[in-house]
Chains A and B, each alone.
Chain A
Amino acid sequence: MKKIFLLSAIVCLFSCLITSCIKMMQEANETEKVHMITVSYKVNAVTGFVPYSGEAEPDPSFQTKGLEVNFINYQEGSSFKSVVGDNNIVTCSLTPGVYAINVAGSVTNPKGTYRLNGSSLNVPFTKDITPQDVVSNPEYTINICPAKVGSVLFSEIYYCGVAPYYFRDQTYTIYNNGQDVFYLDGLCFAQLHPNIATTNLPSWPEDDGRENFVYGLVVWQFPGTGTEYPLQPGEAVVLAQEAINHTVNNPASFDNSMSDWECWSGNALRGNPDCPDMPYIFWWSPNKMQWLTSVFGAAFCLFRIDDAVVNKSYWEQPGHWQRVVGPSSTRYAKIPADAVLDGVELLTSMSALNMKRIPGFVDAGGTSVETTYIGKSVSRKVIGKRADGTPIYQDTNNSTNDFQVNDTPAIRRDSQKIPTWSRANAL
């Protein structure tokens, strides 16, 4: 009896093994050989709210016909280019795969010059998509958010630290690349979520729609009542985690003691008492030790919400913050897309472009010094000079193209000017 039971058990086990084995093989046998497919996609410029379904009314004042669309397959390293045609539809022949769709271009209308940049990440193409499919299915639409060409931008970011594990010297330079004076008063500087590039992107509630917001982990705000801190064309302002001569602590680091503000989080033992502190107006769970952004590369944006007093109490109001779907209670500042003036996505390495985590209207690409603690910085490429010798930087809203890697960080690189009110003038 025992033997029969044992034999039956062995036969059952073996049958299960064989069955699962046959299923695995059948799935493999049913796979078809790869072939080229032709896909169509609609490119809409939308100025209003885009619901989660993606069904949004395009703004007729922004025509997307003629914009270049790049279908990028990061896994294979391939890209296929095409141009938006009639009915705002772009058609492209490509290999099946997961693509990032990047749209780039600009348009000038009576309201000014606008960038029509946008991207849609992780789009799976497995079959032909006809223009008829596109018309009937909003799933095949990329909504881009027209952004007015602004003047203020990040010109240099030093984030990776220097060996051995020294990270207190992180420094950010903000520059006026335009032709008019820009008042820094009330301008917000946000570190975005997620802090590190990842394929595991956070899931936001459907009520927020699709790419209508970016979400801030920490928001700093320039002080001032409105016209206290003018930034003239060609002038730069420098912010630091800690504004001291870091070569005292680490000879391989550099001196950023002349920074205009410290992003000080409350550690009485650290910081330069001579350098004013920039207040943070949003930080759900402040780190009182220091404001350390990822040495692997965080993502940042500059924004200004018009017609609203943006301070600490603003971010406490419902509707101005958001939580990731799930059990986490962490709040993130909800930054409207149309408030963003500039943004940069920093990556662990350029090969991590497939791990991009912020929408294309903030930064259609990404940049990286490639590794940690090597004392390098990223800065914008110079495409011209003003009469006074100050640089004109490249700003296509794609940091992959706009930024370069420098062997060492610099304060006001490329002959940037110091604002008249800056404490750096006295140092």
Chain B
Amino acid sequence: MRKNMIKWIGCLVLLMSSCFAAKAQTPVTPASVDRLKMESLWLRHTNNVAGAILDNPWHYALTDFEYLIEKGEFKRVQSGNDNNAFRFNTEGGGIYEALGGGYAWGEFHYDRSVLRGAKYNASLADPLRGMPYIIADSNPSKWINQNYAMQVKLATPLIWDQLILGVGATYENGIAAKQVDPRPKVLLSELSVNPAVVWTKGRHAVGADFVYLSHREDGTASNSNYRVPQMGWEMLFPGYFMEGEISSFGSITGLRNFNANALGGGLQYGYVGPKFKIIAGGKYRQTTENATNSYTTPKRIGTTNKKEWTATAGVQFLFNDRNSLFADYKYYNRSIDGIEYIQIYNPEYESQEWIVYGKYIKSNYSTMNHNFGLDYMISKEGRSDFSWKFGVNALAEKLSDIYYLPESTQEVNNLLVKAYVKKNFAFGKGSSLLIMLEGFLNKNTNAEHNYGGYYENNIAYTQFALLDFYYLSSSYNGFTLDANYTISNIDRKRKTGLYVGASFNYVNPTSYKDYFDKRSTLVVKVGVAF
């Protein structure tokens, strides 16, 4: 039933994007969509959907199939080391006269991934999403994950020449199945609603948006072979856990039920001058997520209380019709408090339940980023794409994790610098080749790990927590080479383009070489652009 619903909604989004895109004014190619997104400052820097009207994007649609192959040991412990994925992506929309100048945009993604060699996760579809209260096991495992995600953005045209209302919504549904004991089948769903408003007067605009998000995820790690006991860990924090047998008779029951709610909002300011456009904004979001271990008599395994602050600023300098410079800055601060409960099971017949006697913040995970980017774009007159694009980006990241009692701390500072060049070769009006080469270098500038827990010889510490610290504090370099070839106007109405692309990413760690080897990713895709 749910799968059918997803398929129907997916088809609807696809149809919507295709129909709207049939009215596109210029040939659509990956390069032109890249430029469009680059120039849409409100959409790129904020969650305010209403701001799309100010970006005034033309309409487009891209639909493609991707196949991914990823191999290598330079990875988080919980990620796979030999992965494949098949993906279907479609997105499209823009401002439509048929909607009275309103904005409509939608996207749909389907992803089927096969991960191999993933460890220390028997609870979550995505173990790296910031939820520590999981069940972990040391068996290298294959996971088969399927995910459907869709998003819609709608905005009214200008009301009374100064007001724009908008709403965005996302829905995601997934299933992730571990193929080795203890094996959960994890089901997840996520829904978010994002109403927004912009008030504009002359060259100025101010906006506000609000977001509500609900995330549900649950699965039970069970054994298909009862004769082989499966030991595992009920994780509280990296290096802090309860070890036991994962089974209905064991000390660790395999079920984990996650329930998250988030509220947030943002404020934005935009200005459009004759030679430049600027957008600045800030947003805050609090996400609280409970983890329990039973549907009928739930024990509160833990709660995460995540607070995220983001400040962004983006500016586009228009030197002339052909040349633009983009400067972006983003500050991101995330703090996750890990709350643990003191509770005892009341076995009395009339009221069998877990009674909470107290709760404390036992841990905190903190992330702080400063991200600065410069991009220069050269385009040709009369074309919607670009001919050259250059850019540099610097990301300074600080990770600080602490378990308060007994105290353990971890601090990691990294500086990631990227530089790229993109060249779009246009072969007449019929075809084009977009090539991108990016080089990146990550320099670890500080790494401290002080463990004060009780299990320094346990593999859940040495092979999980410690190895993950080594990964996070690794220096590395690498490159990405990306090529897309597009043949435009392949249909009779000369509105459809066909593109094929390939992208190769290579990462080479330069520290902790005893633990990590290189990792490479190849993505090939074929798609159509309307």
Residues of A in contact with B (beta carbons under 8 Å apart): 14, 17-18, 20-22, 24-25, 27-29, 31-36, 74-78, 95-98, 122, 124-127, 163-164, 196, 199-203, 296, 324-327, 348-349, 351-352, 354-355, 370-373
Contact = CB atoms under 8 A, between A and B. Distances in A.
Contacts of A354: 242, 251
Interface string B266-300: 00000000000000000000101010000000000
B8 interface: no
Nearest to A349: B245
Contacts of A370: 229, 245
Given A349-B251, A352-B251, A77 B455 contact: yes
> Which 6 pairs, one residue from A and one from B, show the smallest C-beta to C-beta distance?
A126-B358, A326-B349, A351-B244, A34-B360, A28-B305, A124-B357
Given A35-B405, A78-B406, A325-B349, A21 B339 contact: no
Given A201-B347, A203-B347, A351 B243 contact: yes
A98 B405 contact: no
Contacts of B454: 76-78
Interface of B: 193, 212, 214, 227, 229, 231, 236, 240, 242-245, 249-251, 261-263, 286, 288, 290, 303, 305, 337, 339, 342-345, 347-349, 352, 357-362, 404-406, 454-455
A352 B229 contact: no
Contacts of A33: 360-361, 404
Contacts of B349: 203, 324-327
- Secondary structure call for the B interface: strand
Contact of B250 (A28, A203, A349): A349
Contacts of B344: 98, 122, 124
A21 B263 contact: yes
Contact of A32 (B193, B236, B245, B360): B360
B332 to A, nearest CB: 20
A36 B362 CA distance: 12
Contact of A96 (B242, B342, B406): B342
B261 A20 contact: yes
Contact of B261 (A21, A348, A355): A21
Contacts of A27: 288
B11 to A, nearest CB: 25
Contacts of A22: 263
Contact of A34 (B261, B262, B405, B455): B405
Contacts of A203: 347-349
Nearest to B213: A21
Given A18-B263, A124-B344, A200-B347, A349 B244 contact: yes
Given A34-B405, A124-B357, A202 B347 contact: yes
Given A18-B263, A349-B251, A371-B229, A200 B345 contact: yes
Contacts of A127: 358
A144 B361 CA distance: 35
A348 B305 contact: no
A351 B249 contact: no
Contact of B227 (A28, A29, A98, A163): A163
Given A21-B263, A75-B242, A78-B406, A296 B345 contact: no
A143 to B, nearest CB: 19
Contact of B358 (A124, A202, A325, A372): A124
A75 B242 CA distance: 5
Contacts of B261: 17, 20-21, 24-25
Q: Which of A33, A163, A202, A373 has the most chain B CB atoms inside 10 A of its CB? A: A33
A189 B348 CA distance: 28
A326 B349 CA distance: 5
A163 B405 CA distance: 43
A26 to B, nearest CB: 9
B244 A352 contact: yes
A29 B245 contact: no
Nearest to B286: A25
A127 B250 CA distance: 31
A310 B250 CA distance: 36
Contact of B362 (A34, A122, A199, A355): A34
A256 to B, nearest CB: 23
A199 B227 CA distance: 23
A36 B405 contact: yes
A373 B227 contact: yes
A76 B212 CA distance: 35
Nearest to A75: B242
A124 B343 CA distance: 7
Contacts of B406: 78, 95
Nearest to B243: A351
Given A33-B404, A74-B242, A98-B343, 9 more contacts: A24-B261, A28-B303, A31-B303, A33-B361, A98-B357, A203-B347, A203-B349, A296-B249, A349-B245
A78 B406 CA distance: 9
5 contacts: A14-B193, A18-B263, A98-B357, A349-B245, A370-B245
A371 B245 contact: yes
A32 B361 contact: yes
A28 B303 CA distance: 8
Contacts of B262: 21
Nearest to A201: B347
Nearest to B245: A349
Q: Which of B193, B243, B303, B347 has the most chain A CB atoms inside 10 A of its CB? A: B347
Given A74-B242, A371-B245, A31 B360 contact: yes
Contact of A31 (B243, B245, B361, B455): B361
A177 B511 CA distance: 60
Contacts of B231: 349, 351
A340 to B, nearest CB: 23
A31 B242 contact: no
